Amino acid sequence: MQYRKFGQLDWQVSALGFGCMRLPVINKVYKNIDSPEATRMLRHAIDQGVNYIDTAYPYHDGKSEGFVGQALKDGYRQKVRLATKMPSWLIGSYPDFDLYLNRQLKRLKTDTIDFYLLHALQSDRWTKLRDLGVREWAEKAIASGRIRAIGFSFHDTLEVFKQIVDEYDHWDFCQIQYNYLDTDHQAGTTGLKYAAGRGLAVVIMEPLLGGNLARPPEPVAEVYRKADPARTPADWALQWLWDQPEVSVVLSGMSTFDQVEGNLASAGRSGINKLTSEQDKVIREARKTFEDLYIIPCTNCQYCQPCPNGVSIPKVFDLFNSGVAAQQMWMSHILYNKLGAKERAKSCEDCGECEEKCPQVIPISDWMPYVHRVLTEKEKYDGRKLPV
């Protein structure tokens, strides 16, 4: 395992962090974590040098923190730094800060959370928490020993990102969505450098864009095969991140033991400024190819679920995107028709609840009627990149 600086803290973090949002589950039910297999995966990663474990209050429908607390028994808690996140959207008053932190400490079976984040900050969420006194509360929580470092995860514009960084002098770290397709999206490359330049450690989430960069459409996969048949698309994407000195740790939400092994191998080869100019050119070509194919920027984060009307939003978008990208919409038609009637896009009632939760700010309700028409063969995809 390779290790890297973590901002201004006197600690070295493993290049790879273990994200606990996409753990293996039983019967495809998100809250039913396959605890024996997930524990085997997590402990193996720690045995191989991973020392940053990331979870959050809502992951796996609220079951992830409890799983992590159990999996880190038998001395594993002492081998790692543990990160979790305040459910910022549930905070309504100052006492809620302690209410949720104490609940999370109990779930995680620990007295201290090493890295505590304000989860999924957007402009309105930050304003609300700031005005409720979250900065003052964080300093008290650190003084009490319940948390050791304070940070935030982020989904909004670059301008909002800079505002949040600048409005608190004691941030230790931040977590941003970043990969070779998101260089100009949300915080992006500019935000990465901005935070690192102010001494913050920068944790990377969605390095493979919900698996889309690990299993890219055939035209993108062909770019990589021509460059190096032995390397996987996932390794290309991860090495691009680790090449950048501002990146502290790259989180991966791993669902299988093979994914753990593959990412550990990639992390062992990682380093700063190791990509050659030719390799960088390959990444740029893959990005251009991908951008020409990728339509709806859904990462399958599940924040939009459950839909009050039963729509399986990530499944619907994945079928649409994969059909367009692979130019095999016929297969998407078949799979879409196997979904339950309520799961399909037609059940959307334009309530907007999902859009309030979507980190990617996708106009979900606007897309739904069009996606349904395309996936039911009533209309051919017309090349649009916007819903209307």
Lowest mean pLDDT segment, chosen from 40-49, 94-103, 326-335 = 326-335
Q: What percent of the chain has pLDDT over 70?
A: 99
Same domain, 345 and 259: no
pLDDT band at 324 (very low <50, low <70, confident <90, very high): confident
Beta strands in 254-367 (DSSP E): none
Same domain, 167 and 316: no
Range of the domain at 351: 296-388
Same domain, 339 and 277: no
Burial tier of 223 (Cβ tally within 10 Å: 0-12, 13-18, 19+): buried
Best CA proximity match to 362, nearest among 305, 331, 317, 323: 317
The residue out of 291, 325, 354 marking a domain boundary is 291
Tokens 């890219």, located at residue: 216
Position with higher pLDDT, 323 vs 69 = 69
CATH number of the CATH domain containing 92: 3.20.20.100
Best CA proximity match to 162, nearest among 187, 129, 135: 187
**Tens-digit pLDDT profile for residues 86-108:** 999 999 999 999 999 999 999 99
pLDDT band at 329 (very low <50, low <70, confident <90, very high): confident
The residue out of 291, 307, 342 marking a domain boundary is 291
Q: Could you count the other beta carbons within 10 Å of the beta carbon of residue 57?
A: 20
Same domain, 136 and 43: yes
pLDDT band at 338 (very low <50, low <70, confident <90, very high): confident
Same domain, 173 and 98: yes
Same domain, 35 and 120: yes
- Domain total in the chain: 2
Same domain, 243 and 138: yes
The residue out of 271, 291, 311 marking a domain boundary is 291
Tokens 């028994």, located at residue: 73
Same domain, 311 and 331: yes
Same domain, 273 and 355: no
Same domain, 193 and 341: no
Residue type, 289: T
Give DSSP secondary structure letters for 38-76.
HHHHHHHHHHTT--EEE--TTHHHHTHHHHHHHHTTTTT
Same domain, 306 and 280: no
Same domain, 270 and 371: no
- Establish whether the linkage from the previous residue to 306 is cis, with ω within 30° of 0: yes
